Structure 1
Amino acid sequence: MATTRAVVLARIPEGAPRPEDFALATLPVAEPAEGQVTVQVQALSLDPYIRSTLGGRHLGDAPVGVGDLIPGRAIATVVDSPDGALPAGTLVLAETGWRECAVVPVSAATVVTVPDGVPATAALGALGMPGLTAYAAHERHLRPRLGDTVVISSATGGVGAVAGQLARLAGARAVAIVGSEAKAAMAVEHLGYAAAVVRGADGWAERLREACPDRIDGYLHMGDQTTLDVVAEQLAVGARVSLCGLMDQYNNGAPTTMRAGAIMAARAEVHGMVVYDHHDLAAKHAARVGALIASGDLTLHEDRYVGLDRAPEAFARLMTGQNNGKVVVQVGD
């Protein structure tokens, strides 16, 4: 039986995960049966939802215990297909976990198609689940109109970078909330935000108010409790709020609450964003965002690491807000 290098859980993280919570291991790779293929992983997608599976549960996903393979999706190349359903050399998107080689069902492997000139890793980010999350929130929750002010927290991450650009392209004034001055510069200069505010900096609530003189019409939340509180007090009447991610909850923080009085005063709509509810938009998302990337109107924003052994470090940085873009770990060539 063949083997593969993999990343497993070494211990249940307490709070934000650290690289030492993970370990490299050698796992067996079985021969593929009919209806299965063996794939060689090319690039792993690292996503915040993985944190809630480590010793716990994420919307029905099985909990990951000590010694278990870390879950995750990847772009991979088919190297063995007993029934020929997916020929060798086919590039697919599949749930492989953090490893170099895996056997997956043909039914769970999606052939990767991206527009000419667009890198295949876009299928993990702007054209993958993060991009669909941003697109669904944009279309169904935020619904920006010409001249609206739309605020995006975690604005340079995998979801935020796409959502902010979609808001701008819709004619809204997109304002970024980020974690550092470097990210603020990136948001404005690289992603086209009209303004960027560093959360937690002295006087940042007032700077957000200055950046949003007509108050906030749409807000995509992927931040902490303090960020949610500050934004809630600056909502415009009729504002739309999409609760997409609770970063402090991922790392075992206190339960997040909302300021009911501020929501009532703004007559605001508040939506819970679960991307699994919006797969009916997948084709429209792929066509729209794919065309925007191909034309250069929407910028891909990736935070790339090379080597499977760097996945624990990359994930720890992601979960402490140190990433700058969609986190991708290049495993193969």
Structure 2
Amino acid sequence: MATLSSRAVTLARVPDGTPSAEDFAVTTLDVPTMAAGQVTLAVDVLSLDPYIRSTLGGRHLGDAPVGPGDVVPGRSLATVTASADDSVPVGTLVLAETGWREIAVLPAAAVTPVPRRAGVPASAALGALGMPGLTAYAAHVRHLKPRVGDTVVISSATGGVGAVAGQLATVAGARAVAIVGTEDKAAIAVDQLGYAAAVIRGRDGWVEELRKACPDGIDAYLHMGDQATLDVVMEQLAVGARVSLCGLMDQYNGGAPTTVRAGAVMTARAEVQGMVVYDHHDLVAEQAARLGALIADGRVLLLEDRYVGLDQAPEAFARLMSGRNQGKVVVQVSPA
């Protein structure tokens, strides 16, 4: 019997700073023979997420480091094409840690069937109904806790986490303010995601623009930006503010350790918490029910930055890690 092979993306070299497409290689690898209790998967849609950057040559919260020649890790939406376990029959749509590849063989116990929801695209399982959405939802209900009339600021406001978090704040009756990197993203934030205002970080006068957008101070802040953004926001906190430290984009790419202005925290009597999504898996069912309903009735928009073809994954990831994405980044691996 001929050996089955498929394309995969491996790490060509450990990135120095922000990753580039040249740090990766598209290659062809043999597919392992399926054994008892395993399933063969055809990857449909691959999710690209910022946490992957910290695994490249390093370690992410206990995950094994990825070195040159290793397949890049990643979660995907996939279809079971062969099964040696009756609990996961052929044709089942699943979530799985396949890595960046076209075909994967995994234990059936390691895949999660994806339920079909009316009015909800299947790829939502990688975004609003997946790990990015859980991050946003957990930060919303456990850290930010917005009340009607609060001002909630979201950095990286049009990304996979930020887009969901901003919309949740608006649904809760808060006034959501976006911090973004470009004019295009500012327009997306306001026109598509429903933010009340958007401020472009780093632009001349942006600190005062943020102050004008938040005249009564910032009641809640979800941080996924750089040190400069964190410093500016911390100096504009309202008394009793809640801050969720969710992502450190500059550190992912080798920047200096992030610091928090203790004086600003004390002045605002603020509550600052660190967000690690793995601590909040008890919210998965609640997240799926709540966000699924909001997507189905049109109150939460799925914003995707979609690329077609596995060979586009390196460039898509480079764009993500340099802040050039517009929404949750996914790669359509198999034909739609």
Same-fold call, TM cutoff 0.5:
yes
SS of match in other structure, 2:161: helix
Q: 2:326 pairs with 320, 324, 327, which one?
A: 324
Please list every run of 5 or more consecutive structure 1 residues that lacks an aligned counterpart in the other structure. Answer: none
* Contact in 2 for aligned 1:131/1:158 (Cα 8 Å): yes
Partner Cα separation in structure 1 for residue 186 and residue 116 of structure 2: 29
Letter aligned with residue 245 of structure 1: G
Following the alignment from structure 2 to structure 1, what is the Cα–Cα distance between the partners of residues 134 and 116? 15
C-alpha distance 2-183 of structure 1, shift in aligned 2 (>3 A): same
Which residue does 1:46 correspond to in 2?
Answer: 48
CA separation in 1, counterparts of 2:89 and 2:198?
47
In structure 2, distance between residues paired with 1:83 and 1:58:
31
Query: How many Å separate the matches in 1 of 2:92 and 2:117?
Result: 16
- Cα deviation per residue 1:26-53 (whole Å; 9 max; x = unaligned)? 1111121111100000000000000000
Q: Write the distance in 2 (CA, Å) between the matches of 1:47 and 1:114.
A: 23
Alignment of 1:37-76 (within 5 A): 37-76=39-78
Where does residue 219 of structure 1 map in the other structure? Answer: 221
Matches for 1:179-194 after TM superposition, within 5 Å: 179-194=181-196
Aligned twin of 2:95: 93
In 2: Cα distance, 1:113 partner to 1:193 partner: 30
1:1-333 to 2 correspondence within 5 Å? 1-333=3-335
Matched letter for residue 219 of structure 1: Y
Report the Cα offset of residue 117 of structure 1.
Answer: 2.2
Q: Alpha-carbon deviation of 1:290?
A: 0.3
**Structure 1 residues 118-169: Cα deviation after superposition (integer angstroms, max 9, x where no partner):** 1110000000000000000000000000100000000000000000000000
Whether the aligned pair in 2 keeps the contact of 1:114 and 1:123 (CA below 8 Å) is no
* Number of residues of Structure 1 aligned to a counterpart in Structure 2: 333
Q: Are the equivalent residues in 2 in contact too, given 1:115–1:291 (CA < 8 A)?
A: no
Task: Rate the CA distance shift 1:114–1:257 in 2: closer, same or farther, 3 A.
Answer: farther
Q: 1:82: Cα distance to partner?
A: 1.7
Contact 2:39/2:108 (8 A) holds in 1: yes
The residue identity in structure 1 corresponding to 2:186 is: A
> For the residues of structure 2 that align with 1:136 and 1:153, how far apart are their CA atoms?
16
1:83 Cα offset (Å): 2.9
- Residue 84 of structure 1 deviates from its aligned partner by 2.4
In structure 2, give the amino acid aligned to 1:155: A
2-side partners of 1:121 and 1:83: how far apart?
Answer: 25
Shift of 1:109: 0.4
- 2:143 partner amino acid: H
Q: Deviations over 1:42-77 (max 9, x none)?
A: 000000000000000000000000000000000000
Structure 1 consecutive aligned stretches of length 4 or more whose deviation exceeds 4 Å: none
**Counterpart contact for 1:114–1:290, Cα < 8 Å:** no
1:114 CA drift (Å): 3.9
What is the TM-score when the length of structure 1 is the normalising length? 0.99
TM-align CA RMSD: 0.6
Whichever residue aligns with residue 26 of structure 2, its letter is: L
Contact 1:92 1:111 in 2 (8 A): yes
Tell me the CA shift for residue 104 of structure 1.
Answer: 1.0
| Structure 2 counterpart SS, 1:158 | coil
Q: Is the 8 A contact 1:154 1:177 kept in 2?
A: yes
Contact 2:19-2:318 within 8 A present in 1 as well: yes
Distance across 2 between alignment mates of 1:289 and 1:39: 27
Structure 1 contact 125–326 (Cα < 8 Å) conserved = yes
Q: 1:114 to 1:156 in 2, by over 3 A?
A: farther
